[in-house]
């Protein structure tokens, strides 16, 4: 789903959601299976509330059941773990997602690791991370899997390409690197201690920026013709739009990089819309795997 040098993640995500919807229709018809996604929100962080609302709406739109649990900000770890236990045991729940960030009194990794790996549609459980790293059948974190789908759609076979991933978080950078390695790229993972980052980036056929620093990657960091995937979502002041106004920018200086790159994802409208679409895809995958049903190709 690509127009010229711009990779249209919004359009690709819409296509993926529609394919998920068709797969769900098939599961209901042939197996009487309507997958269910449970989303747990602790506290009332405004951004998290918006994400959870969008996730629920798109889950229902794809024909699946959406189960929402909202807990107060002062929820204890014990209470949250008890809820995870109930969701693990609930046959109607195929996917469990705990919205991050969690309040400070809760150990996020302990909660993520309490989720049944078979229902871990965010792919953050240590078992799924281990399976991804060792080439097993993992549920894979949504944002990097979305990036891989966009890259394959644009470039086809990625074999032999040099991919540079800037960022090494467990949520984006590391799983992105594993996915690109699995797709036979030669992978370099860069981070805050990397020496001469611009020179490193200039070697990339595929450059993935997942840093969280507005427009850090400049046009002259990009090799001519490279494919640039900008994962960053940063809200910055936009005085030109009026006092107190803001806009979203990525980790890449878009106009500069677009002039050099062969293809690039915009922000917004690139990687962002892929995350929920892949979450729905992962829920279908989890629902099928748990029951020994062949996973539809999505
Ligand atoms: P983290 O803060 O967890 O990780 C950032 C990474 O960037 C770290 O590995 C850090 O290195 C590296 N980094 C920081 N500064 C520099 C620098 N100056 N030079 C090189 N590397 C640097 O962020 P996330 O991975 O969670 O997210 C990254 C971005 O992606 C954010 O903008 C976030 O909003 C966005 N995002 C978007 C999603 C979506 O589209 N749906 C989903 C998830 C994230 P070190 O390890 O050395 O500290």
**b/e per residue, 168-198, with b = 16+ CB within 10 A?**
bbebbbbbbbbbbbbbebebbbbeeeeeebe
Which pLDDT belongs to residue 4? 66
Average pLDDT, the chain: 97
pLDDT in tens, 63-95: 999 999 999 999 999 999 999 999 999 999 999
Residue 3 has pLDDT above 80, yes or no: no
pTM, full prediction:
0.97
Which pLDDT belongs to residue 1? 47
Dist CA 18 CA 1 (whole Å): 14
| Mean pLDDT (whole number) for 189-204 | 98
**b/e per residue, 233-271, with b = 16+ CB within 10 A?**
bbeeeeeeeeeeeeebbbbbbbebbbebbbbbbbbebbb
CA of 156 to the centre of ligand 1 (A): 26
Q: Domains plus CATH for the chain? A: 30-124 (3.40.50.10860), 142-273 (3.40.50.720)
Contacts of 45 (CB under 8 A, 6+ apart): 101
- The percentage of the chain sitting over the pLDDT mark of 70, rounded to a whole number, equals 99
pLDDT in tens, 115-164: 999 999 999 999 999 999 999 999 999 999 999 999 999 999 999 999 99
pLDDT in tens, 224-245: 999 999 999 999 999 999 999 9
Which positions are catalytic?
Answer: 55, 99, 122
Q: Which residue's CA is the nearest one to ligand 1's atom 18? A: 192
55 lines ligand 1 (CB under 6 A): no
- The percentage of the chain sitting over the pLDDT mark of 90, rounded to a whole number, equals 98
Distance of CA 247 to the CA centre of its chain: 21
| Mean pLDDT (whole number) for 188-198 | 98
Q: Which residue's CA is the nearest one to ligand 1's atom 41? A: 272
Indicate the pLDDT class of residue 2, thresholds 50, 70 and 90: very low
CA of 211 to the centre of ligand 1 (A): 3
Indicate the pLDDT class of residue 14, thresholds 50, 70 and 90: very high
48 lines ligand 1 (CB under 6 A): no
User: Closest ligand 1 atom to the C-alpha of 191?
Assistant: 21
283 lines ligand 1 (CB under 6 A): no
């Amino acid at each position: 789903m690509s127009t010229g040098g711009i990779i249209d993640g919004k359009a690709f995500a819409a296509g993926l959601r529609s394919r998920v919807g068709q797969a769900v229709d098939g599961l209901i018809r042939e197996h009487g299976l309507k997958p269910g996604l449970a989303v747990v929100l602790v506290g009332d962080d405004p951004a998290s509330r918006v994400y959870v609302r969008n996730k629920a709406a798109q889950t229902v739109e794809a024909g699946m059941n959406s189960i929402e649990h909202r807990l107060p900000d002062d929820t204890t770890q014990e209470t949250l773990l008890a809820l995870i236990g109930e969701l693990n045991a609930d046959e109607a729940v195929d996917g469990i997602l705990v919205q991050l960030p969690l309040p400070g009194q809760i150990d996020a990794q302990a909660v993520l690791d309490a989720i049944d790996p078979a229902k871990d549609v965010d792919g953050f459980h240590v078992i799924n991370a281990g399976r991804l790293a060792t080439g097993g059948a993992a549920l894979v974190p949504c944002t990097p899997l979305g990036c891989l789908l966009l890259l394959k759609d644009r470039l086809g076979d990625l074999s032999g390409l040099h991919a540079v991933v800037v960022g090494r978080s467990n949520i984006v950078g590391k799983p992105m690197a594993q996915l690109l390695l699995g797709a036979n790229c030669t992978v370099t993972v860069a981070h805050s201690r990397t020496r001469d980052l611009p020179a490193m980036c200039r070697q990339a056929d595929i450059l993935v920026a997942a840093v969280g620093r507005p427009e850090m990657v400049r046009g002259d960091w990009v090799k001519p013709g490279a494919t640039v995937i900008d994962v960053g979502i940063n809200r910055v002041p936009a005085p030109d739009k009026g006092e107190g106004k803001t806009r979203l920018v990525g980790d890449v200086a878009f106009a500069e990089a677009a002039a050099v790159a062969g293809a690039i994802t915009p922000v917004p409208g690139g990687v962002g819309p892929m995350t929920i679409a892949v979450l729905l895809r992962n829920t279908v995958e989890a629902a099928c795997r748990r029951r020994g049903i062949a996973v539809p190709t999505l």
